[in-house]
A = this chain, B = another copy of it.
Amino acid sequence: MDRIDRSILRELQEDGRLTNLDLAQRIGLSASACMRRVRHLEESGVIQGYRAVIDPEAVGRGFEVLVSIEVRRDRETVEAFEAALQDIPDVIEAYRLFGSPGCLLRIAVADLAAYERLWIERLTSLTGVTEVNSQIIMKRVKEPRGLPVER
């Protein structure tokens, strides 16, 4: 993991479909050397995959909500709760936190009505949940552009 590897990561975060040839050119390496490095980064798990980034509005997911959830803090409850989250596709991200709230979700749905349905049907009925606090997102201030990679 040297400066060149980090350049590769920076470029592929910007454009995951760069051809190996273009990539090699940008970082000043021969195509074969470049490909060897990329392959190694992929196989070692540093590059976990490639994804298309799609417009939430276009697929009916333009309404986002942050949900703070308090769960009873014993191992079984927490594990069951976190497993249940995996089965709710509208939950885009989920974090377990120190302190309070114990958990934060980012949810993406079509509109307020869809969120109301989700809230009443699936969120409040999760076992062990003692508190649910929903905050509607007014604006995404900073788009996820991947992680900054030092030079």
Contact surface of A with B, Cβ cutoff 8 Å: 1, 6, 9, 12-17, 45-56, 58-61, 64, 66, 82, 85-86, 89-99, 103-105, 108, 135-142, 144, 146-150
Contacts and interface: CB of A to CB of B under 8 A. Distances in A.
Copies in the assembly, this chain: 2
A100 B47 CA distance: 36
Contacts of A147: 54, 56, 59, 61, 92, 108
A16 B150 CA distance: 24
B58 A94 contact: no
A97 B12 contact: no
A67 B147 CA distance: 17
Contacts of A86: 142
A54 B50 contact: no
B142 A50 contact: no
A47 B54 contact: yes
Q: Which 4 A-B pairs have the closest CB atoms?
A: A16-B50, A12-B52, A94-B142, A89-B148
Contacts of A93: 140, 142, 144
Given A92-B144, A108-B147, A148-B89, A50 B15 contact: yes
